Amino acid sequence: MSLTLHFHPLASYCWKALIALYENDIPFTPKLVDLGNPAERAALVKLWGIGKFPVLRDDARDETVPESSIIVEYLDSRYRGRTRFIPDDPARALQTRLRDRFYDLYVHLPMQKIMLDRLRPADKKDALGVEEARAQLLISYAMIEQQMANGGWAAGEDFSLADCAAAPSLFYGSMAVPFGDANRNLAAYFERLKARPSFARVVREAEPYFQMVPKES
């Protein structure tokens, strides 16, 4: 297979790329990277100097593609399948990319702040940063609640890049800050995401690693 995905099964941004691969049954070789292993970390840095996953390697085209949103767009243009991740219509494409950025910046990042703070020693915790992240998540949840009033997917009637971003963000976000009774539309959208076969497969494959997810102390 020409495609290799360098990833970790628990990493939320990796989930985003995996969902896209599974949506269109794109053949690829999964390459699990243990960042705690110096040799594996060095190999990843050689591919992508930032040293973060996911990174997609396409040997057939001699392309190395980092960053989850770019990977999904790359697959959409080079390995197009039944699910289109970026609409052809420019206005809808712009809206899809906006929602992708929304989930990455205003759900995913504050979620990560809260989850990673749980790994810090007691004397190194960032209480103010966590409080700010919680506030941001609640604002984002309220916005999604309104966006999902009529059902559907993140950027309209069709599953897209935006949903690839939403699924892992909301999965871990619900662990960081539960949705609550006020966000029924959001909760219903999350249930639709969990029922999507591509996302269900990602979650199922990650389950053996869930004991590593930081819990609230």
Which residues make beta-bridge pairs with 58?
3, 63
Please give the CATH topology (third level) of the domain spanning 3-78. Glutaredoxin (3.40.30)
Position 207 confidence tier, pLDDT thresholds 50, 70, 90: very high
Residues 68 and 56: their CA atoms lie apart, in Å, by 9
Q: Could you read off the pLDDT of 8-42 as tens digits, one per residue?
A: 999 999 999 999 999 999 999 999 999 999 999 99
Q: Could you read off the pLDDT of 120-177 as tens digits, one per residue?
A: 988 899 999 999 999 999 999 999 999 999 999 999 999 999 999 999 999 999 999 9
Helix axes 197-206, 12-23, angle to 10 degrees: 140
State mean pLDDT over 49-55.
96
User: What's the full length of the chain, in residues?
Assistant: 217
Is the per-residue pLDDT at 1 higher than 70?
no
Q: Is the domain covering 90-196 a CATH 1.20.1050.10 domain?
A: yes
Is the per-residue pLDDT at 212 higher than 90?
no
Residues of the chain with CATH 3.40.30.10: 3-78
Residues of the chain with CATH 1.20.1050.10: 90-196
pLDDT in the model for residue 214: 85
Its pTM stands at 0.95
Position 216 confidence tier, pLDDT thresholds 50, 70, 90: confident
ω into 54 cis (within 30 of 0): yes
